[in-house]
Amino acid sequence: MLYWLSKHGFECARVDHTGIDLIARNPDTKELMGISVKSRSRDPRHADESITLSADIFKKAHVACRAFDCVPYFAIVADVRDMIRVFIMTMEHLLQVSPLRKHGAYWKITKPYLSQYYADPEIMIFEFKTNTHRWWDDRTA
């Protein structure tokens, strides 16, 4: 996240604070963003299951952003098969797209939902296609 934000002109810093992971200034809007990064790796058998965002993280992000006088944002990182997708949006918009339920919010990653996210101008998206050429578990002894 830090690399991609910096690449696009954001001034940003990693913070060690309950509720947010990054603080970034948008170079276009000048908005100060407090970003909570939530990531999940998906086993291919469960690739299309939703990503659960526990209910308490929203309050924690709100409190942290109030302390730093910034707007609460979420970055959801979904590592599925050979693709890493990152979705960035305000907390307010996230809760509109994925309303809070008893145990949290559910970021769905099936094709119909992905199509909706890609069509939504309030969700920023970048993705990486991955290919591991060599890794420790690929070598034979």
Greatest pairwise CA separation for the chain in angstroms: 54
Q: How many domains does the chain have?
A: 1
Q: Which domain holds residue 60?
A: 2-138
User: The domain that contains 24 carries what CATH number?
Assistant: 3.40.1350.10
The pair of structure tokens assigned to 6 is 């910096």
Cα-based distances in Å from 46 to 43, 84, 114: 5, 15, 16
Averaged pLDDT for residues 112-133: 95
132 band by pLDDT with thresholds 50, 70 and 90: confident
More confident residue, 25 or 43: 25
Position 4 scores a pLDDT of 95
Averaged pLDDT for residues 51-55: 91
The Cα–Cα gap between 92 and 70 comes to 13
- One-letter amino acid at 9 equals G
Residues 6+ apart with CB under 8 A from 101: none
- On the question of pLDDT at 46 being above 80, the answer is no
**Quick one: 23 exposed, middle or buried, by C-beta within 10 A (0-12, 13-18, 19+)?**
buried
